[in-house]
Amino acid sequence: MSIMSILQDMRGEFGSMSRRGFGVKSAYGMRSRSQRVVQDSSVGAIHALKQSCWANLPPELLRDVLMRIEASEDTWPPRKNVVACAGVCRSWREIMIEIVKSPEVSCKLTFPISLKQPGPRDSLFQCYIKRNHSSQTYYLYLSLNRASTDDGKFLLAARKCRRPTYTDYIISLNSDDVSKGSSTFIGKLRSNFLGTKFTIYDAQPPHAGVKVVTKCRSTRLVNLRQVSPRIPAGNYPIAHISYELNVLGSRGPRRMQCVMDAIPASAVEPGGVAPTQTEFLVSSLDNFPSLPFFRSKSTRTESFLSGNLTGESEGRLVLRNKAPRWHEQLQCWCLNFNGRVTIASVKNFQLVASPENEAAGHEHENVILQFGKVGKDTFTMDYQYPISAFQAFAICLSSFDTKIACE
């Protein structure tokens, strides 16, 4: 049997199991909204799997089949079959998680957790951002065609929320539900009143030993019951962004600095390592997809200055925008985006490791993140190791925010 015939047969089984599982979930969902409902629906899916011809496949043969599927489906949209295999049952998921390597090694984005993992070391992930002015939303896509930004694999969505003294950008895995109460909420970007300083918050700790930034009991409540007592639902500051003031109105592009709290400065050196998340620790919240989360007002009192933007950055990776050069003939500031940016804009930038990360004090030439305009509401975003798609997206969102006295 060829690999394509095996894959087609498996697709048919996946489809039948999904329909049967969905039917069970919908029938119970009309009567009750409790954990028992989710358990009953999963029991139906497991029962459907047991009726499948793939249920009793020998482990060695199953691993070989899944490895062939992972190797053959190396680009999107065909790579969705790899995700489908991981969603069949726990044993299949464990095998796929072991087979599928992180973006740093495989240079591929597969599972949602890949968006929290550092990009490849020797190449840039090419993405683009679509802006919707009317709804104040932003959508991140993985470029599937280098010649066009009309199609792409959806990765993340963000929604701008204005407050009297600050602005929040809520970041979600779901393009249709961009809210902090959603189970797909993964973090946010917060700015100060002037739009000159920003903090990136992760919804889960980037590594062990991180403290949650909140002034009250950091738990999420559902009908006054604690959902996940082991994992505090708070805001973990992972990066700070600052834009240099330009009160004199001197000509030139914006000057920005990013202090990556969760990434050591040694990560950009040969053999350096950046923290890599392996799973979403708040996955237990998925058992309550339709229940609202109630959070006391005091949780909104987290301090914006939870970290030092300019000082005490020793040991942490510091990124600065690459200095452009003045083009006498064009009479403008220029950066080499290698054809990825086509429209001049004050929002365009390239980030490199700051000289203060090295004793020698030389600026790195390797671009870690670049962002630029290619259409009225379309911007390219390319990133690589040691930052993740989530971190890169949040940094680029800071460029969209209105900045008083920075232009």
Residue 209: pLDDT over 80: no
Classify residue 111: in a domain, yes or no: no
Classify residue 365: in a domain, yes or no: yes
Residue 102: pLDDT over 80: yes
Residues 6+ apart with CB under 8 A from 248: none
Classify residue 14: in a domain, yes or no: no
For residues 73 and 168, membership in a common domain is answered with no
Contact indicator for 194, 173 with CB cutoff of 8 Å: no
Classify residue 323: in a domain, yes or no: yes
The amino acid sitting at 305 is L
For residues 69 and 141, membership in a common domain is answered with no
For residues 135 and 163, membership in a common domain is answered with yes
pLDDT digits (tens, 9 = 90+) for 389-403: 999 999 999 999 876
Residue 9 has what pLDDT? 67
Phi, psi of 203, deg, nearest 5: -75, -15
Classify residue 90: in a domain, yes or no: yes
For residues 199 and 251, membership in a common domain is answered with yes
Classify residue 297: in a domain, yes or no: no
How many folded domains does the chain comprise? 2
Residue 377: pLDDT over 90: yes
For residues 66 and 194, membership in a common domain is answered with no
For residues 72 and 178, membership in a common domain is answered with no
Residue 365 has what pLDDT? 78
Classify residue 336: in a domain, yes or no: yes
Question: Which residue range forms the structural domain that includes residue 180?
Answer: 116-208+232-278+313-399
For residues 370 and 274, membership in a common domain is answered with yes
pLDDT digits (tens, 9 = 90+) for 293-335: 333 343 443 444 444 444 455 689 999 999 888 877 877 778 8
Per-residue pLDDT, averaged over 22-30, amounts to: 39
Structure-token pair, residue 138: 């932003």
Q: What CATH number is given to the structural domain containing 147?
A: 3.20.90.10
Question: Which whole-number Å values give the CA distances from 251 to 103, 331, 373, in the listed order?
Answer: 39, 11, 20
For residues 126 and 92, membership in a common domain is answered with no
| 320 closest CA partner among 345, 344, 355 | 355
For residues 161 and 242, membership in a common domain is answered with yes
Of 75, 100, 125, the position where a domain reaches its end is 100
Of 38, 65, 100, the position where a domain reaches its end is 100
For residues 91 and 123, membership in a common domain is answered with no
For residues 128 and 90, membership in a common domain is answered with no
Query: Which pairs count as long-range contacts for 200-203, CB under 8 Å and 24+ apart, including other chains?
Result: 200/237, 200/238, 200/239, 200/240, 200/241, 200/391, 200/394, 200/395, 201/235, 201/236, 201/237, 201/238, 202/116, 202/235, 202/236, 202/237, 202/238, 202/262, 202/390, 203/233, 203/235, 203/236, 203/282
For residues 63 and 198, membership in a common domain is answered with no
Model-level pTM greater than 0.75?
Answer: yes
Classify residue 157: in a domain, yes or no: yes
Give the least confident one: 131-145, 237-251, 371-385: 237-251
